[in-house]
Amino acid sequence: MNVLTDNISVFAEGFLGTVELTVYSSLLALALGFVMASFRVAPVRSLRVFGTAWVTVLRNTPLTLLFFAVLLGLPRFGLVLPFMVFAVLALGCYTSAFVCEALRSGINTVPTGQGEAARSLGMSFGQTLSHVVLPQAFRTVIPPIGSILIALAKNSAIAGAFSVTELLGTYRTLSELGYNIVWTFLWIAVGYLVVTGAISAVFNVLERRWGFAR
Amino acid sequence: MTVKAAAATALYDIPGPRARRRHRLFGVLATVVLLALLGWIIHLLFATGQFTYTKWMPFEYKGIQELLLRGLGNTLKAFAIAAVLSLALGGLLAVGRLSEHAPVRWLSTLVVEFFRAMPLLVMIFFIFVALKVQPLPALVAGLTLYNGSVLAEVFRSGINSVERGQKEAAYALGMRKTQVMSYVLVPQAVRAILPAIISQLVVALKDTSLGFLITYEEFLHAGKLIASNLDYDLPFIPVVMVISPIYIGMCMLLSWVAQWVSRWERRSPKTEAVDVETAGAGTLLPGGVPPTAPGP
């Protein structure tokens, strides 16, 4: 028990690291996923090909390999950034492929008739998108995006193994200090459950507020 | 192709001549930009001297090739053991969750929910560091517990997705629960969830790379050994360029099998009473809930 109380600052630092990593990577993944999804549904062929390649490759890449390539590989090109930024890049790009697929299938669940009706009312492409298609797509993608972001929070543990400050990494400090390793891991587990629980609570609220199963 | 893709969504009408001209212009612009990006990356590779002979020399040596092959073999070994064990554990937990005895049901629900909620790497580290297990058993145990729990949910939802009439008819014929399961529900469910199972195995294959982090001598580990060798001028990028196509190719092959099985089972007349899973994005996500399972 006193593993936690004695080292509250170490745990707090690690916990904040995990939260920070999760939040920034989520934002990157959502933004990039949105861009890729719009590429994949675009009428322009080369953009569709690019989007498809992005998704297919990243979805089949082991995240450890991606971390390995980004954290240790990009510095070889003279790109020197804090490890945290590299970790956000790797995690965000990886997750963006899954976000893209969720968004795309959300857009595809909107019946064609909705778009046709909007256009026959004289709406422009932008209006069709922002008033008709996206609001309906948004409702159906809430649950899948939620589980993707929960997976992202869990995957952020890999960053800890690549010496980014986050929750899993705290076990090293604490075992050096001679604390009971089982209790340490128990509190690390609790920390992750808090993060994933918070994400799932947020998405439950979103789901109840706007959710709509088609 | 353009017409077909556009007709499939609510976003666009079938383009007329002017829109087609505009799309062609956008297409050319986008291609130019993407090619420029590609060219810039290739230029960067050349400019930082990634294609010098010293950096690619190690791949000519027999010893290095054997090191890589041994790493690949270890990766596949961990995957094979973990796949078999997690299928077995998944089956066991699914039976537990569908049991008529409440304590068994609660216990298996607890196990499934706990191991699905835990980050896989935390479990692997716990087994490796706290229980002081060797790298291979630690990796396999972690993968088994996690993927077994996910597969249990896949199995259970597969059984539950068989049309109710099938079960009722079987009971009406006087079959016992075991008979209903083994003669009626399982054969139909397996066909429906086979794509989801294979997709989950892709996740397991991807996650074997976590063994790298606990010093298991797998593929990535072999790559790291070569990459950190000063004699070859730290050939990091060449190593990544050799390793990633193999890794990604293996996963893609398995994903492709999942999609193929999905299409094949969908056409089969034996899946009339059940919905075949699509091998979609969700199933491929490590840590994600497969589309077959209840939401978060």
Give the nearest chain A residue to B21 (CA atoms).
Answer: A44
Chain B, residues 193-212, CB within 8 A of chain A, namely 202, 205-210, 212
Q: Give the closest residue to B10 by CA, choosing from A134, A52, A140.
A: A134
pLDDT band at B278 (very low <50, low <70, confident <90, very high): low
Are the Cβ atoms of B129 and A203 closer than 8 angstroms? Answer: no
Q: Give the closest residue to B196 by CA, choosing from B280, B272, B80, B121.
A: B280
In eight-state DSSP terms, residue B276 is P
Closest chain A C-alpha to B158 CA, distance in angstroms? 19
Mean pLDDT of B216-236: 86
pLDDT score for A23: 96
CA distance B214 to A58: 23
For residue A129, the chain B residues in CB contact (below 8 A) are 11
Mean pLDDT of A1-23: 86
CA distance A89 to A66: 10
Q: What are the tens digits of pLDDT across the range A136-155? A: 898 889 989 999 999 999 99
Neighbours of A78 (CB within 10 A): 9
pLDDT band at B142 (very low <50, low <70, confident <90, very high): very high
Mean pLDDT of B25-41: 94
Are the Cβ atoms of B119 and A168 closer than 8 angstroms? Answer: yes
Q: How many CB pairs under 8 A join A and B?
A: 199
Q: Which residue has the higher pLDDT, B26 or B279?
A: B26
Closest chain B C-alpha to A128 CA, distance in angstroms? 8
Closest chain B C-alpha to A145 CA, distance in angstroms? 10
Mean pLDDT of B239-249: 92
Give the nearest chain B residue to A112 (CA atoms).
Answer: B10
Q: Go through the domains of chain A in sequence order and give each one's CATH number.
A: 15-166 (1.10.3720.10)
Token pair of B181 as six digits: 């399961």
Give the nearest chain A residue to B288 (CA atoms).
Answer: A151
Q: Is the pLDDT of residue B222 over 60?
A: yes
Cα angle A89, A93, A97 (rounded to 5 degrees) comes to 170
Q: What are the tens digits of pLDDT across the range B75-129? A: 999 999 999 999 999 999 999 999 989 999 999 999 999 999 899 999 999 999 8
DSSP string, B172-196: HTT--HHHIIIIIIHHHHHHHHHHH
- ipTM over 0.95? The verdict is no
Q: Is the pLDDT of residue B36 over 80?
A: yes
Q: Go through the domains of chain B in sequence order and give each one's CATH number.
A: 62-271 (1.10.3720.10)
Mean pLDDT of B209-234: 88
Reduced to 3 states (helix: H, G, I; strand: E, B; else coil), residue A200 is helix
pLDDT band at B16 (very low <50, low <70, confident <90, very high): confident
- How many alpha carbons fall within 13 Å on the CB side of residue A61? 26
CA distance B247 to A61: 7
Residue with tokens 């077909």: B4
Q: Give the closest residue to B13 by CA, choosing from A105, A39, A47, A122.
A: A122
Contact B30, A46 (CB under 8 A): yes
pLDDT score for A214: 55
pLDDT band at B2 (very low <50, low <70, confident <90, very high): very low
pLDDT band at A212 (very low <50, low <70, confident <90, very high): low
| Average pLDDT of chain B to the nearest whole number | 86
Contacting residues for A132 by C-beta, under 8 A, at least 6 apart: A110, A114, A115, A117, A118, A123, B10
Are the Cβ atoms of B120 and A154 closer than 8 angstroms? Answer: yes
